[in-house]
Structure 1
């Protein structure tokens, strides 16, 4: 907003355009861009062509700009958060400094989760759910309509389990770890079983398989599922993980923090990716050729699911490990061949590597699981990572995850609307 006013009095110090630009660290043209966007006001110099600016207003804008710059990463306007949990670099990723793929192939999901939480290994650890927690979670999940999705069920189970835990507001490390070790098996056990005769004891992967497939698993299939869980346990600050940290920063208890992660996971750009890859894979298996299926996807303007990853210019290490394990499962051979066909055909258009969503799709499709199974696997696995990030955030200053808004609306005061 620019107005014509009398010259400033002797006590009122105003800045020239050059001085304002120097204080803001921008070019003179940018100063006038701030004026046009309503972020600064200016006054014409009487009898001249230049403008002057209020010192306090320019200083306030400079402070806002510095805060935004401090909250941005060097890679380009992304929030940066200190963490000791997961590092991703050069097509590899690490849990507390240890190669994550090596951990996932050597240790069980529960053992990897313990390492992520504490930095200590507990060989042979298995998570058990209290009967009271399971009972209330099952009742809540059973009350949902049949068309409810897996994330709906898991989120309802988490909320119901919280109501059965009077100590949920204790945010000490020991208390949160106790919650983590019971919440994850509660989420799994609350899901409706896919086959009869299952047991709710033993490794978590065994219990989860009974919720996802009506087939009896062989050892290689259970190993692939357990490794998939361990591979997916954390992946730095994905959107759902950031939501968990924001909740934990506000000192929400662990159940609420996990519920926040599940809410974000339900978005089509995050948790649903494996389901899209699963359906694509079934279409290729049905037609016996990836070419017409890929052509239909591209013709509709859709991105091919299961290919490429913004954090891995080369190969997704999680997909590489999981595909290797699937090679040992004879029933997975047709789905593996279809996945390779998808990669080969798409490479004619854009050379992209398969990501973990396509590998999950091979696992779920070959095991007779529904298209939503990958989303369930992802959510259960990532719950352990969310707990690790919540624990880390509880040790930080409360409410530090509170960025300042960058207001770009009309400069106040504006008249009341009529």
Structure 2
């Protein structure tokens, strides 16, 4: 199905051209409920149409002629398979419930963005005090010291669920209260603390980077907030789709997050952040040596992690944003310049752009965070999105149950 428009909204003429119909037919589609029109803004009286709606109409045509083909494509970077009001992906930015994420990353707290994702208009779920780890959890946490952050979270979260019987109540207020507690617990697991009084970013930074009195503490905190915000959601990525599938069975929010963490642990998802961090650690600052290193990896058939995203032909805006912020906050730091130079070398060599994985790896190096912090940031940030998807799926009441096309041996007659 050919569809070349990149922007999220189309004019009536563009919609008609994409569908191969007259503009009057577009208006007829609206009146029949097949398309939804929206105002172009205060100064623009014309109507605009969502690209996803146009794609759905095209998809319906193709389904009638090739039903198997479109079903397979939908599960692999293809057409939307379910409706969501959480995240809209654009060509050079993305939006959480209509808010530009790149702008949110500049001045918002992660907790405020999580509340936005959870559609918390009536009450703020982070007004309550932080939870405290039980003696049993503290003992286990001490024994797990040095283990990967995601592993610690996957081990301890079931203990927290067992102690939180109220979390099984099925109402919006409980969902949001439980969600805020889960995020804070993940923060405690990652920081090694038993409780806190600050924000999630402040808690992580105070544990991972002790130099709070340094002159650039504000820049460090903003980079960490931005990293969490930009990681929070990315529509139906593999971990978010996994989370929605689990939520559709009406499993608890704790089990939804455990499922998301399992998907995130794979080498094609969250582990890309750690691989990008390992690659960045190999930079020397010597252009010739670094070029030889990268060329050797390519000759050996190795993939360069942290570059190239299939949904963004002009580069992942999340990775771009983190790199731009690092450049702005650390314009004269020689070590930072080595990392930036290395990323630029990779970009020129493989002719592709850095993703959020490269951005998180860069932030981890610049802030001198401990090993595994990059995927820890990704995991805590993305948990906010998993919880948003879970609540949206609960609201729909639908069980996600795709069908498989059997291609094995036919039964014997």
State the TM-score, normalized to the length of structure 1: 0.74
| 2:58 aligned residue | none
| Pair 1:185 & 2:184 matched | yes
Q: What per-residue deviation string (whole Å, max 9, x for no partner) do you get for residues 278-332 of structure 1?
A: 1111111375653122122212211112222111111322223222322344498
Structure 1: distance between partners of 2:327 and 2:78 = 41
Query: Residues 347 and 369 of structure 1: is their aligned pair in 2 closer, same or farther, counting only changes over 3 Å?
Result: closer
SS in 1 for 2:88: strand
Query: Residues 358 and 138 of structure 1: is their aligned pair in 2 closer, same or farther, counting only changes over 3 Å?
Result: same
Unaligned residue ranges in structure 1 (runs of 5+):
1-61
Q: What is the correspondence of 1:258-337 to structure 2 with a 5 Å cutoff?
A: 258-285=257-284, 289-330=289-330, 333-337=333-337
Query: Residues 339 and 348 of structure 1: is their aligned pair in 2 closer, same or farther, counting only changes over 3 Å?
Result: same
Structure 1 range deviating more: 370-379 or 356-365: 356-365
Is the 1:193–1:212 Cα contact (8 Å) retained in structure 2?
no
Is the 1:111–1:122 Cα contact (8 Å) retained in structure 2?
no
Q: What is the correspondence of 1:16-35 to structure 2 with a 5 Å cutoff?
A: none
| 1:107 aligned residue | 108
Aligned length, in residue pairs: 346
Which structure has the larger Rg? Answer: 1
Query: Residues 188 and 77 of structure 1: is their aligned pair in 2 closer, same or farther, counting only changes over 3 Å?
Result: closer
| 2:241 aligned residue | 242
Structure 2: distance between partners of 1:386 and 1:72 = 23
Is the 2:322–2:359 Cα contact (8 Å) retained in structure 1?
yes
Is the 2:285–2:342 Cα contact (8 Å) retained in structure 1?
no
Is the 1:171–1:253 Cα contact (8 Å) retained in structure 2?
no
| Pair 1:226 & 2:221 matched | no
Is the 1:128–1:182 Cα contact (8 Å) retained in structure 2?
no
| Pair 1:84 & 2:85 matched | yes
Structure 2: distance between partners of 1:267 and 1:157 = 19
| 1:27 aligned residue | none
Structure 1 position 170, deviation (Å): 1.7
| 2:208 aligned residue | 212
| 1:378 aligned residue | 378
Structure 1 position 171, deviation (Å): 2.6
Query: Residues 143 and 79 of structure 1: is their aligned pair in 2 closer, same or farther, counting only changes over 3 Å?
Result: farther
Structure 2: distance between partners of 1:232 and 1:332 = 27
SS in 1 for 2:282: helix
Structure 2: distance between partners of 1:341 and 1:121 = 47
Structure 1 range deviating more: 81-90 or 312-321: 312-321
- C-alpha RMSD of matched pairs (Å): 3.0
Structure 1 position 164, deviation (Å): 1.0
Q: What is the correspondence of 1:124-135 to structure 2 with a 5 Å cutoff?
A: 128-131=129-132, 133=133, 135=135
Structure 2: distance between partners of 1:74 and 1:182 = 32
State the TM-score, normalized to the length of structure 2: 0.75
Structure 1 position 337, deviation (Å): 2.3
Unaligned residue ranges in structure 2 (runs of 5+):
1-62
